[in-house]
A = this chain, B = another copy of it.
Amino acid sequence: MDATTPPLPLRSPEPVSFEPPRGMRDFYPEEMTWRDRVFEAFRQAAALHGFAPYDACVVERLELLQRKSGEEVASQIYAFEDKSGRKLALRPEMTPTLARMIAARQGQLHFPLKWSAIAQCFRYERMTRGRKREHYQWNLDIVGEAGVGAEAEILAAAAQALRTMGLPDEAYRIHVNNRALLSELLLKLDIEARHHPAVFLALDKRGKLPDDEIAALLAAEQVPSGGIARAFELLAVQGLDQAAELAGAGSTAVARLRELFELAESYGIADRLVFDIGVIRGLAYYTDIVFEAFDARREFRAIFGGGRYDNLLTSIGGAPTPAVGLGFGDVVVVEVLKAWLGADAGTVRDGVAVGYMFGAQREAAVRLAARLRREGRKVDLALAPQKPKAFFSRAGGGTCSQAVFIGPDDVAAGRAHLKDLSTREAVAITL
């Protein structure tokens, strides 16, 4: 340190806490490498599938979020007021914002539109099972297309992202259902349409809550008690053929599912798609096909989920518009990747460390580093002279696969040695 630097007026020297706020994550470089890998796969898959990037601020109007979100979500919103008393909130999901942005320009946008965002989202939840209060969620949405081509396109993009991350195809399955099919079946069980939204949300809790608590939830929604047991029985349906038989001929919901499975063949993702009547999703706004992806061993929570929500824009005051969306969080997929690929698989060693022994070699080291960087190499340049031992010790512990250490003899000879840090082989390079 420079002795002439004036001392800053230091505040009280008691240390503050070095922890992040409760439920929030710090990303040190070793974790960030995983996140970058996942985000890069999101961006790449979105681009390959023709989704345009969009984004909006993590701070949203509270009114919009309350209007659009399911009841449970609304109670978990981080809300606050700004200094002018505006009611704001940290968004719990991206879809209300998407709806707002589309509604704002509904006359100018060209439909169907395909949009992609990686959005940080917040929920104030009790901290159970390692759940955090924030996560990043990749959102893919197709707005303005009623056909299941939209669902297929979104699932293909999600499958591509997982492949780019390095996850084998056999490591996960995409479970597909149709809420409209459930509705058809509930009607046949004499459960009226007005009870269906409550039944969906209750059935979605199966396995997370005891059955009697779910039954109590349904009773509170005035669902007739006989209907509750019959609704539970629906979840025992095995396979699309059995469901089709129950639904009877002319079921639009079954036809849409069959068309989706057929399209999946053309996309080359049919091996990963399974019909699963138990997939319902927790949000109120889904209207038709819904889906959730799980690791094949079922060790983790859902990797991604989504579905069709055709009433989205009308619910905030826009024109009726069919839509399909996907939410793909950054937490579970990293757990799955670590389990399948190993926790160290995130680190890529492709850099070059460049160091020098004395100040007289600094210029040569800097010029070499600048040259290697112009050639596209990642260079970790020493910022001060070092002894060879210290230099190679640091170089070997980081993200470098090669190293060049420049001493006085190297500058005199006009060349140095580029050493492979794993094989210890060296090749001469000019300075």
A residues lining the B interface (CB < 8 Å): 1-11, 13-22, 24-29, 32-33, 35-36, 43, 47-50, 52-61, 63-64, 67, 78, 80-84, 86, 88, 90, 100-101, 103-105, 110, 112, 114-115, 120, 122, 124, 134, 142, 145-147, 149-150, 152-153, 156, 160, 179-180, 183-184, 193-194, 196-197, 251-253, 256, 263, 266-268, 284-285, 287-288, 310-311, 314-318, 320, 322, 351, 362-363, 366-367, 370, 373, 376-381, 383-384, 394, 397-399
Contact = CB atoms under 8 A, between A and B. Distances in A.
Nearest to A397: B110
29 contacts: A3-B252, A4-B183, A4-B184, A6-B179, A6-B193, A6-B196, A6-B287, A8-B197, A9-B284, A15-B318, A16-B67, A16-B316, A20-B56, A21-B82, A25-B56, A26-B104, A28-B105, A29-B53, A32-B53, A48-B373, A48-B379, A50-B378, A57-B120, A57-B134, A82-B124, A149-B383, A149-B384, A156-B370, A266-B366
A206 B84 CA distance: 30
A8 B287 contact: yes
Contacts of A26: 54-57, 101, 104
Given A6-B193, A180-B2, A268-B370, A115 B83 contact: no
Contacts of A183: 4-6
B2 A142 contact: no
A88 B267 CA distance: 46
A340 to B, nearest CB: 22
A100 B15 CA distance: 10
A297 B7 CA distance: 36
Given A6-B197, A27-B54, 17 more contacts: A1-B322, A2-B253, A2-B288, A4-B180, A6-B183, A8-B284, A13-B314, A16-B64, A17-B64, A18-B316, A26-B55, A28-B54, A29-B54, A35-B55, A50-B379, A59-B78, A266-B367
Contacts of A316: 15-16, 18
A50 B351 contact: yes
A16 B317 contact: yes
Q: How many copies, total?
A: 2
A412 B371 CA distance: 55
A59 B90 contact: yes
A363 B100 CA distance: 34
A112 B397 CA distance: 13
A15 B317 contact: yes
B370 A266 contact: yes
A408 B322 CA distance: 29
A160 to B, nearest CB: 7
Contacts of A317: 13-16
Nearest to A112: B383
Given A17-B61, A21-B86, A266-B367, A381 B147 contact: no
A36 B43 CA distance: 10
Contacts of A48: 373, 376-379
Contacts of A253: 2, 4
Contacts of A370: 156, 266-268
B27 A59 contact: no
Given A17-B63, A80-B80, A24 B57 contact: yes
A195 B186 CA distance: 77
B82 A78 contact: yes
